[in-house]
Amino acid sequence: MMDEKEHLADAADAAAEYVTGGRGFRERLARLVDVKSLVTLGFSAVLCVMTLYGRETTELFNSAVMLVLGFFFGKNLHETNDKNDRNAG
């Protein structure tokens, strides 16, 4: 019985490693919970809620959301490219 549990645990670990690209779930969660991610998620959530309730958003708020989203995804893309360059060279 213990061998079956160990086998299932190993299979789950292997699947988690495959899905996360070699990083553990806790590491990915820790990276997600940083200030820029929280600000981005907050702005996105407020925009979604306002849209769902049919409230108009100001041009200033729309610009702020686009700026934050652009920075967040631009920063993540830059970090990914840097990692790929280091791995290739």
pLDDT at 52: 95
Q: Outline where 2-58 has alpha helix (H).
A: 2-20, 25-32, 35-52
pLDDT at 41: 85
Residues 48, 66 within the same domain: yes
Contacts of 42 (CB under 8 A, 6+ apart): none
pLDDT at 46: 92
Question: Two tokens at 44?
Answer: 């996105």
Q: How far apart are CA 16 and CA 5, in angstroms?
A: 16
Residues 21, 38 within the same domain: no
pLDDT at 16: 60
Report the number of distinct structural domains present in the chain: 2
Could you tell me which of 78, 80, 49 has the C-alpha nearest to residue 65?
A: 49
Q: Which domain holds residue 50?
A: 34-89
pTM listed for this prediction: 0.49
Q: Which pLDDT band holds residue 21 (cuts at 50, 70, 90)?
A: low
Model pLDDT for residues 35-86, shown as the tens digit of each residue: 777 888 888 899 999 999 999 989 999 899 889 888 877 876 666 666 666 7
Q: Are 35 and 61 in contact (CB under 8 A)?
A: no
Residues 43, 66 within the same domain: yes
Direct distance between the N- and C-terminal alpha carbons of the chain, in angstroms, rounded to an integer: 47
Residues 75, 85 within the same domain: yes
Choose between 88 and 57: higher pLDDT.
57
Question: Two tokens at 71?
Answer: 């920075």
